[in-house]
Structure 1
Amino acid sequence: MADTMDTTTQLQPFTFDLGHLLCTDTNPVPTTTDTDREAILAARAQACAQGLINQLLTACPIHRSQESGDLQIKLPNPTTQLPREKPVPKEKEKTKWERFAEKKGIKAKKKDGKLAYDEARGEWVPKYGYKGKDAGKGDDWLVEVDEKAEREAREGGGKVKKVKKNR
């Protein structure tokens, strides 16, 4: 039926946007049966694709890449502006505190002074607080014992008893 596109029935030529690899056919589609319409649309799609390839090969510069030796076509900048799904977001209005801080020159406090490098653990830990730098002080595997303090602890405060006895 419509294996080849008759150029005499085409009212307007195709419009091309080579930057987006887009070919647009603005001619109206005739209202016929579904099978005829499918055949007409397939023929128009084929004609659009062929026209796009012809435009690419004639209008765009072709060169060979140095790394792989492949042929490459340099596309021009797109002419059709694509729409956004959502509008451009509006700039947030500053809060009362942000306006005041900007006016007075107040800046946010930096948090980089809260960590210290613990060489024993080999990592950055808080200077103080939970899991801080001094948190692992009681984890030593060897603790030296003061013999005098140990003996006094065993005797149970014998010196105190002697002092009371002497009174």
Structure 2
Amino acid sequence: MSCYCGSDKTYETCCAPYVNGTLPAQHAETLMRARYCAYVLGRGEFLVATTVPARQVPEDADLITAHAKNTSWLKLDILRSVEADSEASVEFKAYYKEADGIMRVHHELSTFIKMEGHWYYDEGEFYHVSIGRNESCPCGSGKKYKKCCGSAV
């Protein structure tokens, strides 16, 4: 099975070493992909641990884990990634469905900071996005959204 982040590698050889804490992410985009996998898997503790320490809220780990039980993450699209020595940004779209069955898009420009050799998520700028009825369905079926996942809307 391909990694949840959309790479051609398996999860075990792609993002698992980062999510499991055996390797630090060498690049901000790598951390972004691992964080997406953590959302898919409900690994709230990883998401809190990879947030800038001053912004960490330990209680968020349980909230994220609980939210994951009612969310199906479908696809990650990295739109652009820019990295300097100690700062980076990654723009992405993450497609998901919650318990109501409606597909949604989370579009964010995330900023990352490198501290003591480790990348951390700092904050994000969020964009409102809706999926057009005549667009290809993000689930990968090849059908138009209105004839696939959008038919429930």
Greater relative CO (CA pairs within 8 A, separation 6+): 2
Q: Same fold (TM over 0.5)?
A: no
Q: TM-score, normalised by structure 2?
A: 0.19
Structure showing greater radius of gyration is 1
The structure richer in helix per residue is 1
The structure richer in strand per residue is 2
Q: TM-score, normalised by structure 1?
A: 0.18
